[in-house]
Amino acid sequence: MTEHSCINPDRDLSAAAEDVDPRRVAAALQRSGCFVLRRVLPIAALERILERALEGYAALEASHATGTLTPEMERRCYGYGILRPFEEDLVCSDLRPMRDSMQDLVRRGLLADIVRGYLGSDVTLLLEACHVRRQGPGQVGRPVPPHQDASVMRMRSGRLLNFWVPLVHGAGREAPGLAVYPKSLATTIRCTNAGTRGGLQERMYSNFEIDSETLRQAVGDTPLWTPVLNMGDVLCLDGWSIHRTAFETGMTRQRYDFEMRFCRTTDLQPHMPGETRQLRLDECAA
């Protein structure tokens, strides 16, 4: 029996925020690549973000229906079910940009302490991978296959941290959630790159999908874990952990979430995609 087969994720990798020491989360990320924080974020702030997200998706659907989306918006936003608050001015009902609200949530209390403990104080946001996403029934092309965030962001070394924040209750049960292999990895796992053949993706995300045999070799007997996440919870993911969308045909509800990815500034590399911005942990936008 291996060390990882002895771990009970629901017990060892999940806890209420008030019971968690940041050092425990850092240790779990190093050992298992993931940790779930329960009831760590204020519901009212998340509801404002969700409200604005729903308006954004309604506008996206309307523009798609009338054929007025640019090809870039059609591909990067509508096709993948993504809103990009760091590229668009999405203002919430409290008159604050959604991007400021998202940043403030990860700069507060326990989350900020986890960032400092795992990445240090010199941290950079990877804006290409900071966005709102939706997934639900009837969107069979959108579930993300097994992958590593570090691979997607073309990192070859260093640390990347993802805070995955549900904007609904029951993600992983009534609505699609995330499934993760709780095993620490130290390198990029080879991808199939199936989507690059012929210049067109054979299906969404296939360009960084980890095939089943390579996946088996990487995770061994580590079982897949699908935590049920509610609004207020946060799933912390190390950039090398392998995870995918938890999507079952019996799920009946749409899932909305936002994702914030950042790395140590010293780990930035020229070939990494998209713009970056420093995340100042000691200040919040008023």
- Reported as a single tens digit per residue, the pLDDT across 33-50 is 999 999 999 999 999 999
pTM of the model: 0.93
58 located within any domain: no
CA gap 244, 215 in Å, rounded: 12
DSSP annotation of 267: G
The pLDDT value given to residue 74: 93
CA gap 275, 280 in Å, rounded: 16
191 located within any domain: yes
The pLDDT value given to residue 208: 87
CA-closest candidate to residue 134, choices 49, 261, 43, 258? 258
Kindly report, residue by residue over 1-20, the tens digit of the pLDDT.
345 557 899 999 999 999 99
How many CA within 13 A on the CB side of residue 200?
2
Q: How many domains does the chain have?
A: 1
* Cross-strand bridge partners of residue 177: 246
What residue type is 36 in one-letter code? Answer: V
Higher per-residue confidence, 180 vs 251: 180
The pLDDT value given to residue 286: 47
Distances from the Cα of 94 to the Cα of 8, 119, 143, 278, 286, angstroms: 41, 31, 32, 24, 11
Region of 51 please: left (phi>0), alpha (psi -120 to 50) or beta.
alpha
Kindly report, residue by residue over 123-147, the tens digit of the pLDDT.
999 999 999 999 987 776 788 999 9
Q: Strand pairing of 276-279 and 123-126?
A: antiparallel
pLDDT above 80 for 72: yes
- Surface-to-core class of residue 139, CB atoms within 10 Å of its CB (0-12 exposed, 13-18 middle, 19+ buried): middle
The pLDDT value given to residue 108: 83
Provide the domain limits for residue 201. 4-44+99-279
216 located within any domain: yes
Letter string b/e over residues 120-137, b meaning 16 or more CB atoms within 10 A of that residue's CB: eeebbbbbbbbbbbbbbb
The pLDDT value given to residue 197: 46
74 located within any domain: no
Question: Would you list the DSSP string of 117-132?
Answer: HHH-S-EEEEGGG-EE
CA-closest candidate to residue 98, choices 59, 54, 134, 65? 54
* Token reading at 1: 């029996």
Entry field: residues in the chain = 286
* Token reading at 198: 């012929």
The pLDDT value given to residue 186: 87
Q: CATH number for the domain including 130?
A: 2.60.120.620
37 located within any domain: yes
* Token reading at 20: 């968690």
% of the chain with per-residue pLDDT over 90: 80
pLDDT above 50 for 213: yes
178 located within any domain: yes
The pLDDT value given to residue 193: 60
The pLDDT value given to residue 5: 55
What residue type is 117 in one-letter code? Answer: G
259 located within any domain: yes
The pLDDT value given to residue 142: 81
Average pLDDT over residues 220-229: 97
34 located within any domain: yes
Among 47-51, 108-112, 270-274, which range has the highest average pLDDT? Answer: 47-51
Kindly report, residue by residue over 150-199, the tens digit of the pLDDT.
999 999 899 999 999 999 999 999 999 999 999 999 888 978 665 444 43
